[in-house]
Amino acid sequence: MFKEFKEFALRGNVVDLSIGVMIGTAFNNIVNSLVEDILTPAISVLVGDVDFSNFYINLSGGEYDSLAQAQLAGAITINLGLFINAVLNFLVIALVLFLIIRPINAKNKADKPKDKKCPYCVSTIPFKATRCPHCTSQLKKRLVSSQQT
């Protein structure tokens, strides 16, 4: 059983996944720091230090000065402000990730070949073509791109 577990745990996919999770966690810390330490203070200056965290609806009756006091008293509350903060935080993080990933995707898209050579007539044809428009040969799925030849 130990040998079988060792084979499972050290299989390439498991190791790759664990490395991906660790890198993802580190990247998450970087993005969170960028949002919380750099962008959020800048946004606060622009919008006037708006804090929604104390915006709540008290369902238990009674008056409380803050959400923390209501929760400490055991009041049942709908925490609209915390939800709004979570949505705004998500939107800022999503925007940051978009701005980081967009150039990477553009580079990967530029690296993909746009055309290939037909192995039968050596004409340049679209990369996704499955039949050569020049000699009408049925093409295999993988051909050498014209950028590599």
Distance CA 97, CA 53 (A): 25
- Look over the chain and give the mean of its residue pLDDT values, rounded to a whole number: 82
pLDDT of 49 reads: 67
Task: Please give the torsion angle defined by the CA atoms of residues 132, 133, 135 and 139, in that order, rounded to the nearest 10 degrees.
Answer: 10
DSSP per position, 62-128: S--SSHHHHHHTT--EE-HHHHHHHHHHHHHHHHHHHHHHHHHHHHHHHHS-SEEE-TTT--EEETT
Structural domain boundaries in the chain: 113-149
pLDDT in tens, 80-111: 988 988 888 888 888 888 888 888 888 777 77
End-to-end CA distance of the chain: 51
Contact 35, 42 (CB under 8 A): no
Contact 121, 135 (CB under 8 A): yes
Place 77 in a pLDDT band, splitting at 50, 70 and 90.
very high
Position 59 pLDDT exceeds 80: yes
The pTM (predicted TM-score) of the whole model is 0.54
Contacts of 91 (CB under 8 A, 6+ apart): none
Q: What values do phi and psi take at 57, rounded to 5?
A: -115, 125
What does the pLDDT average to over 102-125? 83
Its sign, for the CA torsion 63, 68, 70, 73, is negative
Q: Both tokens of residue 23? A: 């890198």
The radius of gyration of the chain from alpha carbons, rounded to an integer in Å, stands at 28
